[in-house]
A = this chain, B = another copy of it.
Amino acid sequence: MSQKRLADLNACSTNDFVAALANVFEYSPWIAERAAAARPFAGVTQLFEAMTAAVDQAAPERRLALIKAHPDLADKTQRAEGLTAESSGEQNSVGLDRLSDAEYEAFGRVNDAYRAKFGFPYIVCVRRQTKDSILRDFERRLPNDADAEMQRSIEEISRIAALRLDALVTSDDRLKVHGRLSTHVLDTHGGRPAAGIALELVELSDRGAARVVTRAITNADGRTDQPLIHDRPVPIGRYELTFSVGRYFADREVALSDPPFLDRIPLRFSVSEPEGHLHVPLLVTPWSYATYRGS
Contacts and interface: CB of A to CB of B under 8 A. Distances in A.
Interface in A185-229: 186, 188-193, 221-222
Contacts of A186: 292, 294
Contacts of A270: 257, 259-263
- Residue with the highest number of chain B CB atoms closer than 10 Å, among A191, A255, A272, A294: A191
Contacts of A189: 189, 285, 287
A290 interface: yes
Task: Count this chain's copies in the assembly.
Answer: 4
A288 interface: yes
A219 to B, nearest CB: 12
Nearest to A221: B295
Contacts of A294: 186
Interface in A244-273: 255, 257-266, 268-270, 272-273
B285 A188 contact: yes
Contacts of A192: 295
A266 B264 CA distance: 12
B258 A272 contact: yes
A38 to B, nearest CB: 34
A240 B159 CA distance: 39
A236 interface: yes
Given A257-B272, A272-B257, A288 B238 contact: no
Interface of A: 133, 136, 186, 188-193, 221-222, 236-238, 255, 257-266, 268-270, 272-273, 283, 285-295
Given A222-B295, A263-B270, 12 more contacts: A133-B259, A189-B285, A190-B255, A191-B257, A191-B261, A238-B259, A259-B272, A261-B269, A261-B272, A262-B268, A266-B266, A290-B291
